[in-house]
A and B are shown apart, each in its own frame.
Chain A
Amino acid sequence: MATDLRISNISKIYPGCIANDNVSLQFKSGKIYALLGENGAGKSTLVKILSGVVSPDNGEVFLNEKNLKLSSPLDAKKNKIGMVFQHFNLFETLSVFENLSIDATEDNESLRVRVNEILKKYNFSIDLDVPVLNLSAGQKQKVEIIRCLLRSPKVLIMDEPTSVLTEQETEELFISLKKFCDEGILIIYITHKLKEVLSLCDEVAVMRKGKVVSVSQTQNERVETLANKMVGQKLAKIKKKINISKNKDEIFKVKHLNFYSDDPFETNLVNLNFSVKKGECLGIAGISGNGQNELFQILSGEIITPDTSIIFRNKEIAKLNPKQRREYLMAFSPEDRISQAAVPELKIYENVALNNFKSSNFFEKGLVNEKKIKEHSKKILSDFSVNTDNVELKSQFLSGGNLQKLILGRELITAPELLICYNPTWGLDVGAINYIHETLIKINDQEKSTILISTDTEELLKLSDRIAVIYKGKLSKIMPSEEVTPEKLGLLMGGGSID
């Protein structure tokens, strides 16, 4: 049976921001639709409206000409609208089957029969009785999809589904999605990855500042045309720089980095050895959860491991804490902007004071030197084009991109010799990503080094001089980036080997 989903004149206004401005769209089953836009373009709000999490101020949603009242996620489920969120809603310690049975309406035997049918039909290989924490991100996502399929949905909404997947897993996902589409499920695919839109979707709606700016057939589009529609300005394309750092001195050298943890949620690291040259960017690729968290914390000094040797500018720093490492001109930008790199409840200048090092004089004789910190913060805000000049503003009011600029600015304004960053552009929009990439390239040009731990292969290929892949706590051999292709990376990230 054909499905027809129509969104008519939807508006949603939040204080100080129009999230959806008179949005009208029409979707028909048999096609895969992309909803494309930067962060803050209004995609998420629209999806939240469709899944009943948020109610619109104005406008209506029609499913097969029936006017839907979506006032809770329950209503969406009743109306056969399924949703797979970017962050999985699974209980890690429960088994796959237990997770599926939590909101099931039938008894366990018939549920198991139905789940097995789905597994068989779509060629999913998942053991139903293992705890979810043992699954890969791709498998977890499949569990989420099965959960939707159990309700025989008419509409399936996927929110940024590939952000945690390997290239191979992404391909598998696309195959499944095409299958669902052939079976008459209407698929709405939300993303800001342009290539995925072109390879997967039939039609694409681009949103910008709460409005739908374009609806078109993907066959008529190219990456550049879509990017321009999405950002609304010509993108200055960043060129991959030439490797200038051959035969330079090694300024950072890690030997015998081992880490063992009793915590099943942490990854053990096994004998990591690598070095970084002056002016070089070393990329460390990998799917999240393969030991990047642990690696970052060991490099920053949050975790001290015995027997590891870390030499930085000819000094052994393995036993130093983050603050002491900063004194030696290292800087760190963690993945988690909101609960680690910065505290949203703190004011901007207070967050700046977190990068406290001896010569900063932020704290003199144990007292806060508020004036100094504020001056310093003002400089960061203007030098790194954060879109506010109010250092008293609480950081929670900054968008992700501006917060990341603030964090990078805070770390870089001290002119560190080595910056270690972990997923610096995670979840940011194209404009902010470009800015941050330019900044990272600039510091390499100034003969400063970077270690870029990232799950975004495109970013790694663009910025790194050499790349290694971390998989299950082990580091692959380090390759010059000219020799690396996305396919090679994907293979290594998924645990394959290239020899």
Chain B
Amino acid sequence: MALYFFTPFIAIILTILGGGIIFYILGFNPIEALKFYFITPISNLYGLSELLLKATPLCLIAIGLSFCFKSNNWNIGAEGQLTFGAIVGGGVALLFYNQEGFYILPLVIIAGAIGGMIFALIPAILKTYFNTNEILVSLMLVYVSKLLLDYLVVGPWSNPEGFNFPETRQFSDSSRMPLLFEGLRIHAGIFLALAAVMLSWFVLYKTYLGFQIKVSGLSLKTAKYAGFKGKTMILVVFMISGACAGLAGVGEITGPIGQLHRMISPDYGFTAIIVAFLGRLNPFGIIFASLVVALTYLGAETAQIFLQIPKYTGQVFQGMILFFLLASDYLLFFKVKILNLKKNELRY
């Protein structure tokens, strides 16, 4: 049991070692490169603010996903729910582009959450009533929402004074997340993420819904035997998950971005899957995991600047974390044994 919460650390250490080896092969001094990757980005206030900025959507989405994953529902389409949430939230923000008012931001945020929720309901309804596979449906819907966003920003919603750039107008200040500190990009969205952590802890561990989620995740047969309403639960966890992803999307466009364009998310929705598992689907574990994974985004940007290597190394690191996490989970319960098999001997 202790090991269960310890393996994420093993995975992180192995990832750093693996990264060092890759840097060495690429011809860099591994210690120095790793320092550029993991230390330099957060060695000043601005860096720390960027870390929290990137951890915010990751944490929010991963919290939502934990509801799905804990109950054996494999929602892989958080990126799509994020995008659709951003579209709906952004649409509301654009309605008020030339207005001011305290009520605008809450409206935008709620619209974003509802957008994500609706988009997550599609795979959930198809799963419960038509027996489709939610992995495929939710994944494919990611591309639907991205193409829809693409269409909107070059077509109907594109900025009339924008010289045909694929982007919308800037949102008014009333639909922007308040900044926490002058000169830093960290914004009030982080409180949404923290609230989600608290709320999810309460729901998962203290409510009947949480109990049903826990039982269904451990044994669907038992859930059925206990008479839990399986279909309702699937719909609810997808809605929670979609709402969180939608909030993350709205946080991005009303926070650092301030408008809608094609690239509103560097695949936060997919990376959050890694965050959820690295955090052991535990609300507080997810905080920690989102910080670690956010660092790989930042490190990749620093490495691009200082080492002239593409920022996609960030994905390499994220991939390695997941790989080592799965591997150490798997190997924990197995013994490696090298067999010396002769011909004609039993094969195992």
What residues make up the interface of A, taking CB atoms closer than 8 Å to B?
74, 77, 103, 105, 300-302, 321-326, 332, 334, 336, 339-343, 345-346, 350, 353-356, 363, 366-368
Contact = CB atoms under 8 A, between A and B. Distances in A.
B226 A322 contact: yes
B232 to A, nearest CB: 11
Contact of B346 (A74, A326, A334): A74
A339 to B, nearest CB: 5
B215 A368 contact: no
A485 B346 CA distance: 47
B344 A105 contact: yes
13 contacts: A103-B346, A301-B227, A323-B228, A325-B227, A339-B221, A341-B225, A343-B215, A345-B218, A354-B222, A363-B211, A366-B209, A367-B207, A368-B210
Nearest to A332: B225
Contacts of B225: 300, 302, 322, 332, 334, 340-341, 354
A353 B211 contact: yes
B68 to A, nearest CB: 19
A343 B218 contact: yes
B227 A326 contact: yes
Nearest to A73: B348
A332 B221 CA distance: 14
Interface of B: 205-211, 214-215, 218-219, 221-222, 224-229, 344-348
A97 to B, nearest CB: 18
Going nearest first, the 5 A-B pairs with the smallest beta carbon separation are A323-B227, A322-B227, A363-B208, A340-B221, A354-B226
Nearest to A74: B346
Contacts of A326: 227
Contact of B218 (A324, A346, A353, A366): A346
Contacts of B218: 343, 345-346
Contacts of A300: 225
A325 B346 CA distance: 53
B199 to A, nearest CB: 14
Contacts of A363: 207-208, 211
B346 A368 contact: no
Contact of A356 (B205, B226, B229, B347): B226
A460 to B, nearest CB: 23
B106 to A, nearest CB: 25
A336 B221 contact: yes
Nearest to A368: B206
B194 to A, nearest CB: 22
Given A74-B346, A342-B222, 11 more contacts: A300-B225, A302-B224, A322-B225, A325-B227, A332-B225, A339-B221, A343-B222, A350-B214, A354-B215, A363-B208, A367-B207
B221 A366 contact: no
A367 B206 contact: yes
A113 B285 CA distance: 61
Contacts of B207: 363, 366-368
Contacts of A346: 214-215, 218
Contact of B227 (A74, A103, A324): A324
A366 B222 contact: no
Contacts of A334: 225
A270 B301 CA distance: 67
A321 B208 CA distance: 18
Contacts of A353: 211
B3 to A, nearest CB: 15
Nearest to B343: A105
A353 B345 CA distance: 52
Contacts of B214: 346, 350
Nearest to B347: A103
Contacts of A324: 227
A194 B258 CA distance: 79
Nearest to B345: A105
Contacts of B209: 366
Contacts of A343: 215, 218-219, 222
Given A105-B346, A343-B218, A366 B208 contact: yes
A264 to B, nearest CB: 18
Most buried by A among B218, B222, B344: B222
B346 A323 contact: no
A156 to B, nearest CB: 18
B128 to A, nearest CB: 15
Nearest to A363: B208
A340 B228 contact: no
A350 B211 contact: yes
Contacts of A356: 226
